[in-house]
A and B are shown apart, each in its own frame.
Chain A
Amino acid sequence: MTTASLRLALVGAPNTGKTSLFNSLTGSRQKVANYPGVTVERKSGGFVTPEGRSVTVLDLPGTYSLRGRSPDEEITRDIVLGRFDGEAVPDLVLCVADATNLRLTLRLVLELKRVGRPMMLVLNMIDIARRRGVTIDLERMSQEIGLPIVTSVAVRKGGVDELLKRTDEFLARSHEAAASQWTTPTIADLKAAQREADRIIAAVVTLPTKPDTLTNRIDSVVLHPVGGLVILAVILFVMFQAVFTWAQPAMELLSDGFSALGQLIHDVMPEGWGLLQSFLQNGLISGVGSVIVFLPQIIIIFLFILLLEDFGYMARAAFLMDRIMGGAGLHGRAFIPLLSSFACAIPGIMATRVIDNRRDRLTTILIAPLMTCSARIPVYTLIISAFVPATTVWGFVNLQGLVMFGLYAAGITSALTVSAVAKFFLWRDHAPAPFMLELPDYKMPRLKSIAIGVFTRAKMFLYRAGTTILSMMVLIWFLASFPTAPAGAEGPAINYSFAAMIGHALEPLLRPIGFNWQIAVALIPGMAAREVAVAALGTVYSIEGGKEAADQIGQVLAQKWTLATALSLLVWYIFAPQCASTLAVIRRETGGAKWMVVTFIYMLALAYAASFLTFNLAQALGLH
């Protein structure tokens, strides 16, 4: 036991502070991955005990029992039982309980004991319990349940010292795992275990004379049928504002910084190195830039989400939104990820991690790209200002604004429809997860734990999504740059590239929806990011000045396209999977290419069908 590190597994019911304990044991030495083939997060980390033993910790998904009602809970069960392929059985199971709320965890402890692994019970948040006047006879309790008990205050410095000491003591002795006697509990088993747990609690816990009234007082405002919704709207408004306005300067700074760096490389490189120059500037540096530019949004969204989650508000938001979202087959918790997707689908999709149930999470991931993200705005504005007259209808409504609103509304409506359809077709064979969740007492969020959480997300995005996004960017650069234009060629270089060849090849397919080959060519670099299509259209139509010349591009397009084509392209942009980064993140978040392909195909089909309808309807109405 000197060289091999000890494997420790954290098990506990939701809201017991398991994650805070994990954070305080491992600090920033964490690795977040997915279990093979499933959408479940595998969180592991390491620490060294005071006596120098190295320990690896696995933070298992929270569960109320080992019954395995969802893929997450099945993982917890299978690892504890030692029957999960590729995961070693833990040497020591730490069952984490909230000392202020022992009822549900104690029943889980009794169930876990039947598995026979060496185990310790950690009474977390013991400080809050003591402050509220809860007294627990630890010695008696330890005798009753037959397990060693450690108290901890995961969120305070030094709060896990005793746990570390006891882990060392535990390791100094040898431990034999008993044979597992665990069988899937029946209702009678569960009730018997709950009665036993209640008996032990009655014997060892003295409840305070004054219950916690603060949570009740906050809830009477926050869960008020009307006031609660207003408060939720205000919180979301602030969050949405933060994502849009606070992140914007940082994003612009990053994006300007990377283009300046690209320009610098362009300038210092000697003449004649054109290709390498272009690769560094337009492929590599703009590729890296396009990954990093999302960081401010991701950090801000996760800061809000982790704060609200730690405070205990997320469960309340789900309570308030349940009926409203439920009509479309969405979980109450899908609300915040979907709202974030209005800024950008990438942090939105990453934020779906707050949804415990796998099916609810996949549905949310599937529809998040339909929310009108900020990258669509340049495309919408360009086409609307070029084709839609700025007239006033119904006396006070600006027609351009109305079309913009219509595009947003179409995105939301289609997302809700897709969700309802997915629920009906994809998940028909599965029992839907009922809405049943604990509303934990409010707690002051601890900044250190939040900081570790945000840091872990940012790192994960850079390492995991970043590599895929970067390689896609380089591929798109390659398609748009090769083969190079022959000497003395006329027109822009992109017209000679693979992108142009693909564009020409796609043109017959796109003609029924009113797209010409120039649009088809522009859509390929537009895969890098939606707004790039604007600059690409400028390039294809040989307009100097790129993005800055948007007005000019608009004038040219107004001459070259019919109104039917313009409307068709607008509709295309509501639905089309025109964002390689989003697809890359879906692949990473769902742990495989399957859901990325599903998203790509369904969005493409929707886009084609909707554009086809729009184009033909517009032509039939004589809109030229």
Chain B
Amino acid sequence: MTGDPNSTQDNLQDIRLGHADRGFVGKIIRLDALVTGSSLSPQELEQRLVEMGFVEGARVEILHEGTIRRDPIAVRVDNITIALRRSEAMAVIVE
């Protein structure tokens, strides 16, 4: 967990995937693209995430992290691996 001011957590168990560490295993609860560090519009970001398989109920696991500031991350989403930046992963709420 990094002390990012964007972490608006409405449930104690829910965290944003962008904050999770390597080795994290969880399930996607919902997407919330409104407050992220991404340069994409919330709608566009959400569409792209859905197109890459980030949908409610999918099992996610953070497999790898990049060298600089542990970014980007490689995430196992069900049975595919997606590389993305933490700023975009902020839109994925997991438990």
Listed in ascending order, the chain A residues whose CB lies under 8 Å from chain B are: 64-65, 67, 69, 101, 103-104, 107, 187, 190-191, 194-195, 198, 207, 211, 215-216, 219-220, 223-226, 228-229, 315, 318-320, 322-324, 431-432, 434-440
- Taking a contact as CB atoms under 8 Å apart, the answer to whether A194 and B52 are in contact is no
Work out how many contacts link A and B, with CB atoms closer than 8 A: 114
Complex Cα–Cα for A225 and B22 (A): 12
B51 surroundings in chain A (CB, below 8 A): 64-65, 67, 104, 107, 190
B8 to chain A, nearest CB (A): 20
CB closest residue in chain B, given A215: B81
Q: Is the CB of A322 within 8 A of B85?
A: yes
| Contact of A435 with B64 in the complex, beta carbons under 8 Å | no
A480 to chain B, nearest CB (A): 50
Q: A323 contacts B39, CB within 8 Å?
A: no
Determine the distance from Cα of A439 to Cα of B75 in the docked complex, in whole angstroms.
9
In the complex, chain B residues 39-76 whose Cβ is within 8 Å of any chain A Cβ: 39-41, 43-53, 55-56, 63-72, 74
* Measured CA separation A364–B47 after assembly (Å): 27
Are the C-beta atoms of B72 and A435 separated by less than 8 Å? yes
Q: Given B64, B79, B84, which contacts A436 in the complex, CB threshold below 8 Å?
A: B84
Cβ of B25 < 8 Å from any Cβ of A? no
CB distance from A169 to the nearest CB of B (A): 32
- Residues B68 and A437 in contact, CB atoms below 8 Å apart: no
Contact B69 A436 (CB under 8 A): no
Task: Report, nearest first, the 8 A-B pairs whose CB atoms are least far apart.
Answer: A323-B68, A223-B64, A439-B81, A225-B67, A64-B51, A190-B50, A436-B84, A319-B83
What CA separation (Å) do A320 and B71 show in the bound complex?
Answer: 9
Question: Beyond A103-B78, A226-B67, A434-B88, is A191–B72 a contact (Cβ under 8 Å)?
Answer: no
> Roughly how many angstroms separate A324 CA and B78 CA in the complex, as a whole number?
29
A226-B46 Cα distance, complex, nearest whole Å: 32
CB of A540 to closest CB in B, whole Å: 50
Cross-interface CB contact of B66 among A69, A190, A207, A225, cutoff 8 Å = A225
Q: B7 within 8 Å of A by Cβ?
A: no
C-alpha gap A437/B49 in the complex (Å) = 10
Which residues of B lie under 8 Å from residue A67 when comparing CB positions? 47, 51
Q: Which residues of B contact A65 (CB under 8 A)?
A: 51
B29 part of interface (Cβ distance < 8 Å)? no
| Contact assessment for B83 and A323 in the assembled complex, using a CB-CB cutoff below 8 Å | no
Which single residue of chain B is at the shortest CB-CB distance from A101?
A: B80
Report the minimum CB–CB distance from B67 to chain A (whole Å): 4
Cβ contacts under 8 Å, B85 to chain A = 322, 434-436
Query: Chain B interface mostly helix, strand, loop or mixed?
Result: mixed
Question: CB-CB < 8 A to A319: which residues of B?
Answer: 64, 66, 72, 74, 83
A187-B43, A187-B47, A219-B74 given; A436·B82 CB < 8 A: yes
Contact flag A320-B55 (CB < 8 Å), given A315-B83, A432-B39: no
Q: Which of B41, B49, B66, B74 contacts A323 (CB 8 A)?
A: B66
Q: How far is the CA of A550 from the CA of B44 in the complex (A)?
A: 59
Residue of A nearest to B78 (CB): A103
CB distance from A234 to the nearest CB of B (A): 16
Question: When the two chains form the complex, which single residue of B38, B49, B80 contacts A103, counting CB atoms closer than 8 Å?
Answer: B80
Q: Which residue of B lies closest to A436 (CB)?
A: B84
Distance (Å) between the CB of B36 and the closest chain A CB? Answer: 10
A187-B46, A436-B88 are known; give 9 further A-B pairs, CB within 8 A. A101-B80, A187-B43, A191-B55, A194-B50, A219-B74, A319-B66, A323-B66, A437-B82, A437-B84
CB distance from B38 to the nearest CB of A (A): 6
* Smallest beta-carbon distance B91→chain A, Å: 11
**Residues of chain B contacted by A435 (CB below 8 angstroms):** 72, 83-85, 88
Could you jot down 17 A-B contacts, CB within 8 Å?
A64-B52, A67-B47, A101-B79, A103-B53, A190-B47, A194-B55, A219-B81, A225-B66, A320-B67, A322-B83, A431-B39, A431-B40, A431-B44, A434-B39, A434-B45, A437-B82, A437-B83
Residues of the A chain whose Cβ atoms lie less than 8 Å from the Cβ of B45: 434
Residues of B with C-beta under 8 A to A194 = 50, 53, 55
Name B4-55 residues within 8 Å CB distance of A.
Answer: 38-41, 43-53, 55
Given contacts A211-B79, A225-B66, A228-B67, contact A104 B52 (CB under 8 A): yes
A215 vs B51: C-alpha distance in the bound complex, in angstroms?
23
Find the A residue at minimum CB distance from B64: A223
On chain B, the residues within 8 Å of A190 by CB distance are 47, 50-51
A438 and B52 contact, Cβ closer than 8 Å, known pairs A187-B46, A319-B74, A431-B44: yes
The answer to whether B41 touches A322, judged by C-beta atoms less than 8 angstroms apart, is no
Q: State whether A439 touches B66 (Cβ < 8 A).
A: no
Residue among B51, B53, B82 with most chain A CB within 10 A? B51
Given contacts A319-B66, A434-B38, A434-B40, contact A223 B74 (CB under 8 A): yes
Give Cα A444–Cα B18 distance, bound, in whole angstroms: 33
Smallest CB separation, A109 vs chain B (Å): 14
Measured between beta carbons, the chain A residues less than 8 angstroms from B46 are 187
Q: Which residues of B contact A437 (CB under 8 A)?
A: 82-84
Interface centre among B41, B45, B78, B81 (most CB of A within 10 A): B81
Question: Are the CB atoms of A219 and B63 closer together than 8 Å?
Answer: yes
Report the separation of the CA atoms of residues A223 and B67 in the bound assembly, to the nearest whole angstrom. Answer: 9
